[in-house]
């Protein structure tokens, strides 16, 4: 692995760690904020549907690439 790749991996890892630390800080500083049952259901549905849309779009990208549709552009 080259030095440039290691530097890229290290910097992305540092950004991931910092974003998780910041998100946990904000989460625990919210205090007594309560989310209702409807809010939890909406959040779970939003995450699941966003994941499905992203996975579907990536599947279409791979399908298009393997069938040669991208070669015409």
Provide the 8-state DSSP code for 32: S
The pLDDT of residue 72 is 67
User: What average pLDDT does range 50-59 have in this prediction?
Assistant: 97
The pLDDT of residue 28 is 87
Dist CA 25 CA 70 (whole Å): 44
Same domain, 42 and 72: yes
Same domain, 52 and 68: yes
Domain membership of residue 27 as a residue range:
1-31
Dist CA 15 CA 8 (whole Å): 11
Residues 6+ apart with CB under 8 A from 64: 70
Same domain, 65 and 47: yes
CB distance 7 to 15 below 8 Å: no
Residue 57 has pLDDT above 80, yes or no: yes
The pLDDT of residue 70 is 76
Same domain, 17 and 45: no
Same domain, 73 and 45: yes
User: What average pLDDT does range 54-71 have in this prediction?
Assistant: 90
| SS3 assignment, position 73 | coil
Same domain, 24 and 40: no
């Amino acid at each position: 692995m080259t030095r440039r790749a290691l530097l890229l991996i290290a910097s992305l890892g540092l950004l991931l760690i910092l974003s998780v630390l910041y998100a946990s800080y904000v989460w625990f500083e919210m205090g007594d904020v309560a989310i209702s049952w409807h809010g939890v259901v909406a959040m779970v549905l939003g995450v699941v549907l966003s994941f499905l849309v992203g996975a579907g779009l990536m599947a279409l990208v791979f399908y298009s690439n393997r069938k040669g549709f991208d070669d015409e552009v």
